[in-house]
Structure 1
């Protein structure tokens, strides 16, 4: 896949990618989530090891895909779980370059090949992510208020089965 001057590939993650994936998740959460979750919640999520555990648990079960640049460095990843995009992150240093859209398209294609309707959740206060998903054709679904910060469910329909 090419985005202007950037050539990237998406490949399945392996156990060897764990440290890089966890570090990327911590950097992204630290840089991007404070504005809507607050310092205390972000510091706890990173400091408690919950972020690392989430990535590790999904890597062990499969469904993690790496966005890799031409130098072989992981600059983004997605976690797919059933019909759900569980998590999608692009390194903050690589935002606003079309890479998130490429990673999202890859995740959508993989899930829609198996499911007629796919979903993801986003924090209600994450205006940048919500605008991005809506611009990519995702439909606003339910507000999820059962635990923690309010989230919005997004859905997309396809022709999978």
Structure 2
């Protein structure tokens, strides 16, 4: 489906949208994370309720991107950390993620000169997306939890 990106809107979470947000997150995790976290880990994360808990724990720090009253993306940021960005499966690859990250970076740069994010080392499409949008890899730490590396990216506020 074609998306007119000029009609994307950003809001805080509405109670009526929480279920839709949780569905978006579980589908994105299943479709996008299984290749590098493994099916068993993804199934556990979703079926144990950890995915829903992650959403519930961050509702106050979440920005929702909507198109025609449908949630098509979400983003969570905490202080100078871009914690989570997701675009609804089926809407990915249309520039929605770029619109979301531009919006959130602008909000974060109002208070911070340097912002950061973390992602899984093997989350190749996401790493490519971040690099394409001006983020630079800063650090790499092994995670016992995931059995792999977590990459930290940073971006500096432009002086323009």
The TM-score, its normalising length taken from structure 2, stands at 0.91
Q: Which residue of 1 aligns with 2:4?
A: 5
Q: Which residue of 2 aligns with 1:63?
A: 61
Distance 1:152 1:140 in 2: 7
The TM-score, its normalising length taken from structure 1, stands at 0.91
Distance 1:5 1:110 in 2: 22
Q: 1:5 to 1:36 in 2, by over 3 A?
A: same
Distance 2:36 2:90 in 1: 19
Give deviations 1:101-156, integer Å, cap 9, x for gaps.
Answer: 00011111111111111111011000000000000000111002143231110001
Indicate if the aligned counterparts of 1:144 and 1:152 stay in contact, CA closer than 8 A: yes
Aligned length: 155
Whether 1:77 and 2:81 are equivalent positions in the alignment is no
Structure 2 portions without partners, runs of 5+: none
Q: Which residue of 2 aligns with 1:22?
A: 22
Indicate if the aligned counterparts of 1:58 and 1:79 stay in contact, CA closer than 8 A: yes
Distance 2:132 2:141 in 1: 21
Distance 1:74 1:132 in 2: 21
Superposed displacement of residue 38, structure 1: 0.6
Q: Which residue of 1 aligns with 2:104?
A: 107
Distance 1:143 1:31 in 2: 25
